[in-house]
């Protein structure tokens, strides 16, 4: 006795689009084959009938061409309140199960009777009202236990034909449990993956750890003046632990600038310290702290705009070397001549040769160089920890922040999560967990109203991170944004939160 849902969706303007008027957004050949295979086969052991059931609304039924309906080898149920349609192929309560026809027009009450009597394996196949009827059903027994989504990427609107039929986002009770390889459809020139979600009653995601920390600081934080002059409420010493073995803890209660996180991390991994590189790639998170005005306020008059000084990337790749802004864009210099200690290469080597060492860490602290930085480093220390179960090694990370604000928590946690994923791939390990530890944990006063809005939203299923296998062998300087795929990320809309500079 199982209810499933199956749909092909396009993430369009942060909504799950399934149609344009009375047509599918895209009709992918392989998706249609997947649909046929899933709904025709894999009959539940509890089912008292030898066919699966496809359940749809009236519009979906009539969108199927005459020669293809009812869908073969399945019992087709069409939910409707249209009295005339109900007369054409009525379902009679109490009819013998072994005499069931290929299709019926039925009411909701009829369906409940049918479902209880047959214990059938049911696939909800649309349209939007029917999907939402089940996705938002208060009865756990009627909520789909599994959802099969075909997630379409790179969709472009043509002839001003914008998607206008949407389904409700999945609740946090759904956990993303598997994804297929990325595939390409030549006709529509789109990529897509097959995703599977499992319904877990009472399940809550790790996102509540972020939410609960925000609530705690709002209720218990201390008002403090700060460097920016904006003011904060602050709390001392907080820790959050996240499971990253299947999904990553990327906020869904507000859309996060995913590209910015990736580009900044790769910027650090290359050893770059010129923020204009990021700016040229559309990432402006360092603009305020590397402007001419800000540099002059720090006494860094000799730095050109965009220069950060010996901060993260420099620490990771050239620790201890004499800093020069001439080295800020590593693509223009022979990095072998810069000198210093390459912490990132050292960590990778230890993970491969001495994985259970207690000395596998990166430090971003160098107090003697603070005056030459646009900001003192906020995330100051990252240590790696390897566990072995059977023949498999699992990689975790623990990082500490001397100063951590609510806008940056997600960025830093996800950034280091991605680094763990890269190193795990390069060292034949699997990612396991990440632990965040903060000293001064605070909320800026110019974020109060935005965070209150965010707290009114309910989390959604966390996404998966997939890496291109080429990252196993690429040089750190060769890694690109397109080497990373974020799968199943369907967040609430963005909430603009200005950085305190």
Among 121, 165, 126, residue whose Cα is nearest residue 7: 126
> Are 445 and 294 contacting, i.e. CB atoms less than 8 angstroms apart?
no
| Helix 409-426 vs helix 258-270: crossing angle, to nearest 10 | 60
Residue 74 CA to its chain's centroid (Å): 35
Residue matched to tokens 């990427």: 153
> Are 461 and 205 contacting, i.e. CB atoms less than 8 angstroms apart?
yes
Integer Cα distance of 316 and 310 in angstroms: 10
378 is catalytic: yes
Give the pairing type, strands 379-389 and 190-199.
Answer: unpaired
Catalytic residue, chosen from 95, 378, 410, 441, is: 378
> Are 417 and 401 contacting, i.e. CB atoms less than 8 angstroms apart?
no
Write out 249-295 in H/E/C secondary structure: CCCCCCCCCHHHHHHHHHHHHHCCCECHHHHCCCCCCCCHHHCHHHH
Q: What is the DSSP letter of 456?
A: T
Rounded (5°) CA angle 321-327-329: 135
Residue 335 makes CB contacts below 8 A (sequence gap 6+) with 271, 317, 318, 327
Write out the two tokens for 231: 């003011």
| Helix 207-220 vs helix 409-426: crossing angle, to nearest 10 | 150
Number of neighbours of residue 36 by Cβ within 10 angstroms? 14
Among 110, 104, 75, 108, residue whose Cα is nearest residue 87: 104
Integer Cα distance of 155 and 191 in angstroms: 8
Integer Cα distance of 163 and 147 in angstroms: 21
Among 238, 232, 274, 225, residue whose Cα is nearest residue 407: 232
Q: What is the DSSP letter of 51?
A: S
Residue matched to tokens 């946690």: 413
Give the pairing type, strands 174-179 and 15-20.
Answer: unpaired
Residue matched to tokens 């050109």: 304
User: CA quadruple 420, 425, 428, 433: dihedral positive or negative?
Assistant: positive
Residues acting as catalytic residues: 378
């Amino acid at each position: 006795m199982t209810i499933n849902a199956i749909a092909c969706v396009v993430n369009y303007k942060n909504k799950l689009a399934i149609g344009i008027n009375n047509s599918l957004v895209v009709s992918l050949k392989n998706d249609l084959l997947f649909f046929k295979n899933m709904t025709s086969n894999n009959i539940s052991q509890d089912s008292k009938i030898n066919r699966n059931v496809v359940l749809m609304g009236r519009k979906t039924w009539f969108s199927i061409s005459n020669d293809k309906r009812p869908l073969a080898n399945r019992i087709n149920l069409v939910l409707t309140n249209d009295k005339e349609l109900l007369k054409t192929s009525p379902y009679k309560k109490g009819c013998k199960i072994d005499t069931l026809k290929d299709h019926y027009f039925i009411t909701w009450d009829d369906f409940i009777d049918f479902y209880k009597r047959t214990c059938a394996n049911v696939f909800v196949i649309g349209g939007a009202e029917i999907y939402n009827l089940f996705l938002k059903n208060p009865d756990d027994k009627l909520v789909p236990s599994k959802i099969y989504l075909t997630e379409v990427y790179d969709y472009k609107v043509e002839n001003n034909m914008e998607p206008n039929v949407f389904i409700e986002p999945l609740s946090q009770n759904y956990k993303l449990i598997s994804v297929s390889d990325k595939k390409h459809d030549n006709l529509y020139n789109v990529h897509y993956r097959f995703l599977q979600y499992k319904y877990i009653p009472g399940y809550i995601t790790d996102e509540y750890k972020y939410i609960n920390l925000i609530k705690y600081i709002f209720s218990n934080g201390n008002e403090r003046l700060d460097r920016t002059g904006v003011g904060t409420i602050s709390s001392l010493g907080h820790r959050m632990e996240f499971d990253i073995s299947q999904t990553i803890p990327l906020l869904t209660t507000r859309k996060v600038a995913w590209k910015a996180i990736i580009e900044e991390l790769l910027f650090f991994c290359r050893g770059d310290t010129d923020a204009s590189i990021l700016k040229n790639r559309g990432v402006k998170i360092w603009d305020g702290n590397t402007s001419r005005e800000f540099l002059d306020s720090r006494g860094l008059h000799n730095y050109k705009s965009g220069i950060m000084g010996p901060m993260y990337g420099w620490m990771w790749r050239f620790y201890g070397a004499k800093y020069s802004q001439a080295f800020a864009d590593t693509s223009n210099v022979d990095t072998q001549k810069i000198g210093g200690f390459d912490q990132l290469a050292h960590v990778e080597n230890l993970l491969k040769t001495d994985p259970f060492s207690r000395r596998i860490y990166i430090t971003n602290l160098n107090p003697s160089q603070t005056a030459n930085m646009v900001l003192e480093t906020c995330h100051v220390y990252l240590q790696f920890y390897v566990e072995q179960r059977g023949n498999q090694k699992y990689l975790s990370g623990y990082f500490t922040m001397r100063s951590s604000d609510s806008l940056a928590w997600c960025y830093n946690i996800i950034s280091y999560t991605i680094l763990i994923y890269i190193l795990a791939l390069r060292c034949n390990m699997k990612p396991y967990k990440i632990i965040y530890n903060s000293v001064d944990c605070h909320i800026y006063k110019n974020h109060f109203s935005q965070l209150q809005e965010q707290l009114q939203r309910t989390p959604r299923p966390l996404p998966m991170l997939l890496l291109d296998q080429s990252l196993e062998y690429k040089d750190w300087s060769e890694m690109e944004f397109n080497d990373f795929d974020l799968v199943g990320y369907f967040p609430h809309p963005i909430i603009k939160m200005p950085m305190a500079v």
